[in-house]
A and B are shown apart, each in its own frame.
Chain A
């Protein structure tokens, strides 16, 4: 599946959703979790993930903290109270959109029936 073009518009919501389910996560952890949940179908590149994380941080939706792990700095992201609200909204919006999309993409049983009438 060429998921790249679909990911762009949804990555913000994906990140918010994951962070709503986990108290804090770091960049690599987010990318691994997305790959795992999507059965390796969605792989976030550095270029797709990090600008979004910085953007969300700048918008006050994420707060960050750093810790030294194995002699290197690791930056953790968590949702701010405002981020938690927005996460709910965005996830709900995406679910509705996904439902609508499903209706469009799913084969219409009635159209099949009409084709049967015509002997196809």
Chain B
């Protein structure tokens, strides 16, 4: 007989990880349930090993994975309107791509309709989430974040409609996000206050949906971009989609750092916190072409890819996985340094094929496929791939 010590705790946490339990609120409840069960058995005179053998033996294989799936489905059933609107946005985007491929008129309006559906979906899911979880904190912070994202989406509608005021909207969006994101990152990581916060709760709940949405959006954007290269027509729509992927995946990347247990990412490491804030600024500021010159934007963009790439792999534990992703991210960093040199006219743009070529695109795609178990690397590679096709063969700076 004894009590639960740190080694026991680590053993149970490892077990839950192996079972594929990633949804943090459920994972914590399962951890508490199992530990309470173990304590109950140990109080009756069993050793930890005896109690653990009995408890784990009664849990069927894949039980937690299916429990997680069922729980997520249960939770997401509530958000029917926003789910429907998200599907509508995807359908409209697919229609936009097909219209563009067939040179039909009205692609701009379809794209706007899709952006409107996306914005409303975001608003509905946030408001209903806040309403249903009124007891959770951080509601105003969440509304601020949503407002910043909606301003960004609106700025793209203005761009499609050639309306004045797009730069101001972008400036508003970037300013709001630049104030809120670093604050939230420091707040969640320094004080471990992500518990009971509506933003982290809803984000965590929607991670699988966000990842699916980004993946579909990336697929559509890349297909359209490749066809615009092959059939040589203006890539406006695919560019807009790629920018949306970069924006969405970028925010997703930084939002993942709010969940240190899931991403095993920052924790209380001050340097990592400073680096994540710097890389966030490097990510967002290039979205302001009216306020920052091209060399500044390209330099910031390159810095983002270097810092975020390093941060993505620093906590990997398995040796062979770590080596593979370090090599891949090293290659990506080299690619972005090459891109920077071309944009800064250090290297002649005739040499762009060294950095923008089919084998490299395939390496990125394979990397994305292999990164499915590593949320942070997966979303980083999504940004890299979208940016690669945005810049191909050589574009005009990030965004």
List the one stretch of B34-42, B159-167, B207-215 in contact with chain A.
B34-42
> B75 to chain A: which residues have CB within 8 Å?
54-55, 58
A46 touching B67 by the CB < 8 A rule? yes
The answer for the CA separation of A75 and B9 in the assembled complex, in Å, is 18
**Complex Cα distance A32/B33, Å?**
10
Most buried by A among B9, B64, B195: B195
Task: Check A74 against B30 for contact (C-beta < 8 Å).
Answer: no
Inter-chain contact A58/B36, CB cutoff 8 Å: no
User: Within the complex, which residue of B63, B74, B196 is in contact with A54, where a contact is CB–CB below 8 Å?
Assistant: B74
Measured between beta carbons, the chain B residues less than 8 angstroms from A54 are 26, 71, 74-75
When the two chains form the complex, which single residue of A32, A47, A75 contacts B29, counting CB atoms closer than 8 Å? A75
From A27, A47, A51, contact of B63 by CB (8 A): A47
Indicate whether A13 reaches chain B with its CB closer than 8 angstroms.
no
> Which residues A34-75 have CB closer than 8 A to chain B?
45-47, 50-51, 54-55, 58-60, 63-66, 69-70, 72-75
Contact B71 A75 (CB under 8 A): no
Within 8 Å by CB of B32, from A51, A60, A63, A73, lies A73
Is A28 an interface residue, CB under 8 A from the partner? yes
The CA of A45 and the CA of B66, in the complex, are separated in Å by: 13
Q: Is the CB of B29 within 8 A of A27?
A: yes
B132 to A50, Cβ gap below 8 A?
no
Known: A28-B36, A73-B28, A73-B195. A51 touches B135 (CB 8 A): no
Indicate if the CB atoms of A75 and B135 lie closer than 8 Å.
Answer: no
B40 touching A66, Cβ below 8 Å: no
Tell me which of A59, A60, A65, A73 has the highest count of chain B C-beta atoms within 10 A of its own C-beta. A73
Whether A26 and B67, one on each chain, are in contact in the complex, defined by CB atoms closer than 8 angstroms, is: no
How many angstroms between the C-alpha atoms of A32 and B135 in the bound complex? 27
The residue of chain B having its C-beta at the shortest distance from the C-beta of A74 within the complex is B32
Q: Which residues of A contact B25 (CB under 8 A)?
A: 75
In the bound complex, what is the Cα–Cα distance between A77 and B48 (angstroms)? 28
Residues in B with CB closer than 8 Å to A70 are: 4, 35
Could you say which residues of chain B place their CB within 8 Å of the CB of A63?
135
Asked if A64 and B135 sit within 8 Å, CB to CB, the answer is: yes
Q: Which residues of A contact B168 (CB under 8 A)?
A: none
CB B80 to nearest CB in A, in angstroms, measures 12
Q: Chain A contact residues (Cβ within 8 angstroms of B): what range? A: 20 to 34
Q: Which residues of A contact B37 (CB under 8 A)?
A: 28
Q: Is the CB of A51 within 8 A of B132?
A: no
A70 and B31 alpha carbons, distance in the complex (Å)? 12
Contact with A along B130-162 (1 / 0, CB 8 A): 001001000000000000000000000000000
Q: Given the complex of chains A and B, what is the CA–CA distance between A27 and B36 in angstroms? A: 10
A residues near B9, Cβ cutoff 8 Å: 72
* Beta-carbon contact of B40 and A32 below 8 Å: yes
At the interface, yes or no: B346 with Cβ under 8 Å from chain A?
Answer: no
Nearest chain A CB to B83's CB is how many angstroms away? Answer: 14
- B-contact bits for A8-45, CB 8 A (1 contact / 0 none): 00000000000000000011110110000000000001
Provide the residues of chain B in CB contact with A46, threshold 8 Å. 30, 33, 59, 63-64, 67
Chain B residues within 8 Å of A45, by CB: 63
Q: Which residues of B lie under 8 Å from residue A50 when comparing CB positions?
A: 26, 29-30, 67, 71
Q: Are A66 and B67 in contact (CB under 8 A)?
A: no
Q: Report the Cα distance A27→B37, complex, angstroms.
A: 11
The 8 Å CB contact of A28, one of B32, B63, B64, is B32
- Chain A residues contacting B49 (CB-CB under 8 Å) are none
| B267 → chain A closest CB, angstroms | 16
Q: Which residues of A contact B (CB under 8 A)?
A: 26-29, 31-32, 45-47, 50-51, 54-55, 58-60, 63-66, 69-70, 72-75
Which 8 pairs of residues, A with B, have the shortest CB-CB distance? A28-B36, A28-B33, A55-B74, A73-B28, A51-B70, A47-B67, A58-B78, A51-B74
- B residues adjacent to A (C-beta < 8 A): 4, 9, 25-26, 28-33, 35-37, 40, 59, 63-64, 66-67, 70-71, 74-75, 77-78, 132, 135, 195-196
Query: Mind listing 27 A-B residue pairs with CB under 8 Å?
Result: A26-B32, A27-B29, A27-B33, A28-B32, A28-B36, A28-B37, A32-B40, A46-B30, A46-B59, A46-B64, A47-B70, A50-B29, A50-B30, A50-B71, A51-B67, A58-B74, A58-B77, A58-B78, A59-B78, A64-B135, A65-B196, A66-B196, A70-B4, A72-B35, A75-B25, A75-B28, A75-B32
Given contacts A54-B75, A55-B74, A73-B195, could you give 9 more A-B pairs where the C-beta distance is less than 8 Å? A26-B36, A28-B36, A45-B63, A50-B71, A51-B70, A51-B71, A54-B71, A58-B78, A58-B132
